[in-house]
């Protein structure tokens, strides 16, 4: 039977308004009341992940920055897998040589060396999952990310690498597919890195030990839960590692076709609260077995 549900956030848990819908909140609470644990697994930093959860009245453990960190409901760190200083420098040098913009995520927050590029990056990522959202609204949300202190502007990333902060992830962006493909090739050749994406115009680079599936496996082992009893819901390539782990893999209706094809089930889109529908359908199936 399903004992734990792991859900991605953007394009999955969150609707077109970047909120957790009322039906989804209700379904999560129904699952928890039935004794099923729920955890969020996202590419976001912890500070950015908890905002929509708090707004929805949800207190849940979270896998953040693609599996580089796990925190419990109180925000206490349970698990951490960062990049070595050497790998961070090597990856940064490679991306800079290819003239690809990127941000870095650390235990102290997110950094950019170009505010306007960062704002445009967030707009493009958001519109990938929510193409019908009005641009002025998306731009306002992106600018708030800086105004509220979620992202810090620095002149030189290498100064951050040489500090005591643990670097979790690089989020690289380009509208040119050939640039991203070249970057993927170069980064793969460095070794020790996991390279995925949350949209067609970005790459997410973490330690090879920092992936959603690896972090989720650690979490369920701590709980004594078998992978066969886990439901994992997602919409993009950085969700694949946890989809392959889980006995009950669910793709969103807005996920690319190749993501849908590797999953056991396909639910509705995030705009149609597909997470709620998946929870209710599959936990009901399990109750009857």
Residue 8 catalytic? yes
Q: How far is CA 199 from CA 55, 100, 203, 204, 268, in A?
A: 25, 16, 8, 10, 19
Task: Report yes or no: 258 and 243 within 8 Å, Cβ to Cβ.
Answer: no
Buried b (16+ CB within 10 A) or exposed e, 99-130: ebbbbbbbbebbbbbeeeebbbbbbbbbebbb
Question: Which strands, in side-by-side order, build the sheet including 248-251?
Answer: 77-80, 69-71, 62-64, 37-41, 4-7, 230-234, 248-251, 265-266
Helix, strand and coil percent figures for the chain, each rounded to 5: 50, 20, 30
Phi-psi label, residue 200: left if phi above 0, alpha if psi -120 to 50, beta otherwise: alpha
Q: Which of 8, 10, 235, 239 is catalytic?
A: 8
Q: Which residues are catalytic?
A: 8
């Amino acid at each position: 039977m399903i004992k734990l549900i792991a859900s991605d956030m953007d394009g999955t848990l969150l609707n077109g308004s970047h909120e957790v819908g009322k039906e989804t909140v209700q379904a999560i609470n129904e699952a928890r009341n039935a004794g099923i644990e729920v955890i969020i697994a996202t590419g976001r930093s912890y500070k950015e992940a908890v905002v929509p959860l708090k707004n929805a009245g949800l207190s849940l453990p979270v896998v953040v920055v693609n599996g580089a960190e796990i925190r419990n409901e109180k925000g206490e760190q349970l698990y951490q897998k960062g990049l070595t200083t050497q790998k961070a420098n090597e990856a940064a040098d490679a991306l800079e040589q290819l003239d690809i913009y990127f941000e870095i995520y650390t235990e102290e927050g997110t950094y950019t060396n170009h505010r306007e590029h960062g704002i445009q990056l967030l707009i493009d990522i958001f519109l990938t999952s929510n193409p019908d959202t009005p641009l002025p609204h998306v731009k306002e949300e992106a600018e708030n990310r800086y105004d509220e202190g979620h992202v810090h502007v620095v002149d030189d990333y290498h100064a951050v690498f040489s500090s005591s902060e643990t670097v979790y992830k690089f989020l690289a962006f380009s509208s040119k597919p050939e640039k991203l493909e070249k970057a993927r090739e170069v980064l793969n050749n460095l070794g020790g890195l996991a390279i995925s994406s949350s949209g067609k115009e970005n790459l997410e680079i973490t330690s090879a030990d920092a992936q959603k599936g690896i972090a989720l496996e650690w979490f369920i082992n701590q709980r004594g839960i078998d992978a066969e009893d886990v439901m994992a819901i997602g919409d993009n390539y950085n969700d694949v590692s946890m989809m392959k782990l889980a006995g009950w893999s669910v793709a969103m209706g807005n996920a690319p076709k190749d993501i849908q094809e590797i999953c056991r089930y396909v639910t509705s889109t995030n705009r149609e609260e597909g997470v709620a529908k998946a929870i209710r359908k599959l936990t009901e199936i399990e109750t009857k077995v």
